[in-house]
Amino acid sequence: MVNGKRLLIIIPALNEAASIGDVVGEIRGELPGVDVLVVDDGSTDHTAAVAAAAGARVARLPYNLGVGGAMRLGYRYAHDHDYDLAVQVDADGQHDPRYVPKLVDLLDDYDLVIGARFAGEGEYTVRGPRRWAMGMLSVVLSGLAGATLTDTTSGFRAANRRMIDMFARWYPVEYLGDTVETLVHAARRGYRIQQVPVAMRRRMAGTPSHSPAKAMIYLGRALAVLTLALIRR
Amino acid sequence: MKLTLVTGLTGLVLLATIVELLRRRQLREKYGMLWLGLLFVVIPLSLFPRLLDGVADLLGVASGVSLVLFLGIVFLLLVCIHLSWEVSALEEETRTLAEEFALLRAEVEADRMERAEWARHPDRTEMVSRDG
């Protein structure tokens, strides 16, 4: 319970046994009375067992679907169990649960609130094609949503009941679909979107990729995904 | 004559394969019918390759055989697109099933744990709530 509302934290996880225990433990420590659902997206390690031992509810997918599949399952769970709010958090520990109340506070006036990395807080930086891609996404999506969105690919998001209802029915499983396409879809259907600046932490496990070739491919795919999302019904 | 024999035999072997697959229920009828329909066009053509020369002339194609080749490629492309479409639909269906299944499994496991808890502390049932 947060402000008298039932809140579910959704954590999609794929082979995150190294960090998931600490992530769940920290959330339960920082946010007492909040339910945590870990969606195990077909992990081959002990992610599900570690998460359950840390006190999370666990939904295990029989095979890997991608973030979109895990997220729709999470929102379906939130919808079926009648939660008022849902917050999605990454399993690698880069999202600080102390920001959750800040995100949730805005859900009275907005349907979807994004925890954004570039909005002044913290020192997260990227360069080269990846930066161009994020800049392009930011400009287009800010225009669509009618709000400044600096970090459209952030996986740190809070949704109210209206948004949960939509995501429980519709959540794309394709590449960048979980971030870019959901934003386009929601903005075009009149859902109100806002962002909150957050500081990101170093991942507890795993490393982000920094190869320029990969960044170029990322730019191309981001363009393709965005164009498709814009011309789709 | 030799060529006609080769093409005609190939057509007949394909026809036999499709019929056999349909007979063993290995092929959905909608696909079986598609291929059967195609073979009823292809087999006469393989026996009488000059059959389409008139149509080819009308369309400005040098020979009926070229026209068949062109139409064949277009047809195969269409079939490939159709199959990609079918696979996409199937993937969407299996995705929904997987999610549904994971939800049900989570419910069953939660229920089982609740019961185990109840078996251990029958007096504390009130305390074991879903929000616990």
Domain regions of chain A by residue span: 7-231
**Greater confidence, B38 or B127?**
B38
Q: For residue B130, is pLDDT > 90?
A: no
Rounded Cα–Cα distance for residues B67 and B33 (Å): 23
Token pair, residue A142, equals 């800010």
- Does the predicted interface ipTM exceed a cut of 0.90? no
- What are the CA-CA distances from residue B95 to residues A4, A42, A198, B18, B56 (Å)? 34, 12, 33, 31, 47
pLDDT grade for A77, boundaries at 50, 70 and 90:
very high
In chain A, the residue whose alpha carbon lies closest to the alpha carbon of B96 is A69
Burial (CB count <10 Å: 0-12, 13-18, 19+), residue A111: buried
In chain B, the residue whose alpha carbon lies closest to the alpha carbon of A8 is B131
- Min Cα–Cα distance to chain B from A197, Å: 30
Strand intervals (E) in chain A: 7-13, 35-40, 57-60, 85-88, 112-116, 157-159, 193-197
Q: Above pLDDT 70, what percent of chain A?
A: 92
pLDDT grade for B129, boundaries at 50, 70 and 90:
very low
The whole-model pTM stands at 0.84
Query: Count of CB contacts below 8 A, A vs B?
Result: 41
What is the per-residue pLDDT for B132? 42
What is the per-residue pLDDT for A1? 66
Token pair, residue A167, equals 């995501």
Q: Which fold has domain A7-231?
A: Spore Coat Polysaccharide Biosynthesis Protein SpsA; Chain A (3.90.550)
